[in-house]
Amino acid sequence: MMFKNYGLLGIEHLEREEIEKILELAFFYKDCIRKNIKKLSALKGKSVVNLFYEPSTRTKNSFELAAKYLGANVINFTTQGSSVQKGETLKDTVSTLTAMGIDAVIIRHNVSGTPMYLKKYINLPVINAGDGMHEHPTQALLDMMTVMEYKGTLKDLKIAIIGDIAHSRVAKSNLIGFSKMGAKVFVAGPSTLVPEAAKKFGAIISYNVKEAVKEADVVMGLRLQLERQKKNLFPSTGEYAKYYGINSTVLNLAKPNVLLLHPGPVNREVELTSEVMDGEKSCIGEQVTNGVAIRMAVLNLLIGGNEYEKAV
């Protein structure tokens, strides 16, 4: 696979066949998790570092569990209490960890392009766990896996992504990924949060949430990324919820068997009402489970050798 040569930097770098391979192996690992088989040996003797320069609950813990389920040693690095607070650069920090014998770097950073920058200096697989407003490839892969699980295919599905498109690395990775796999992706939200640039990745843009959601197979809400907004882009969260939030009235415009996704964390009663978030169409919990399986597949394909023979 081509991506074994450099790691997983973004969905934009993956071929369709590579996405299919990752999904196939992830379903295998999900079956292992369901059967409570969590002591595998595919990464026995390997060490990975979780290098998180931004807070994370789901992604960081998911990568840690995935690596441990496959038998790897895991270093969890955070800037607090590290030499970063003494002025050490990212390049020097990773060079130090590399000298300790790690086999892969998993990195989250608030600056777009950091994984690509890092890859120039180390001869190890780099896995992008979210960089600024650029990409979040494993989130898109787990979202595709969740939809595949329920729909059996991604081809010709209508996917509606609602909310803060402009600041969302999840939206970009999903837009690229679902489009590559043959789905039709609609994006909708306030005009200030839906950039025209989304069209170049194949998106169909709407500023009317009800129009975007109508007859959709999948509806994905996004977190309002207030920390990345440098000015007020909508009047208030109350008005946002009223006009762009996903509630039962909006969701009922989609197909009866619609799936509701959200990458989390969710601002309840803003992006989603509790009624739909906790409702029968919500797959948010399943997304979290699938995240571990996807990250197991990615780690094994990058540093584990023959994936199935070493999996059990």
pLDDT digits (tens, 9 = 90+) for 84-142: 777 888 888 888 888 999 999 999 999 999 999 999 999 999 999 999 999 999 999 99
For the chain, the distance separating the N- and C-terminal CA atoms, rounded to the nearest angstrom, is 21
Token pair 């890092």: residue: 118
Radius of gyration from C-alpha coordinates of the chain: 19
Is 60 exceeded by the pLDDT of residue 20? Answer: yes
246 closest CA partner among 286, 219, 279: 219
Backbone phi and psi for residue 189, each to the nearest 5 degrees, phi listed first? 165, -170
Return the SS3 of 108.
strand
Token pair 């109350």: residue: 238
Weakest-pLDDT range from 17-21, 32-36, 81-85: 81-85
Burial level of 5, CB count in 10 A (0-12/13-18/19+)? exposed
For the chain, give percent helix, strand, coil, nearest 5. 45, 15, 40
Q: In this predicted structure, what is the pLDDT of residue 44?
A: 92
Token pair for residue 153? 């295919």
Mean pLDDT of 291-300: 97
Alpha-carbon separation of residue 22 from 16, 76, 217 (angstroms):
10, 24, 23
Backbone phi and psi for residue 304, each to the nearest 5 degrees, phi listed first? -105, 0
Using CA atoms, how far apart are residues 167 and 274, in angstroms rounded to an integer?
A: 24
What pTM value is reported for the model? 0.93
Token pair for residue 37? 């088989």
Q: In this predicted structure, what is the pLDDT of residue 5?
A: 67
Q: How many CB atoms lie within 10 A of CB 276?
A: 22
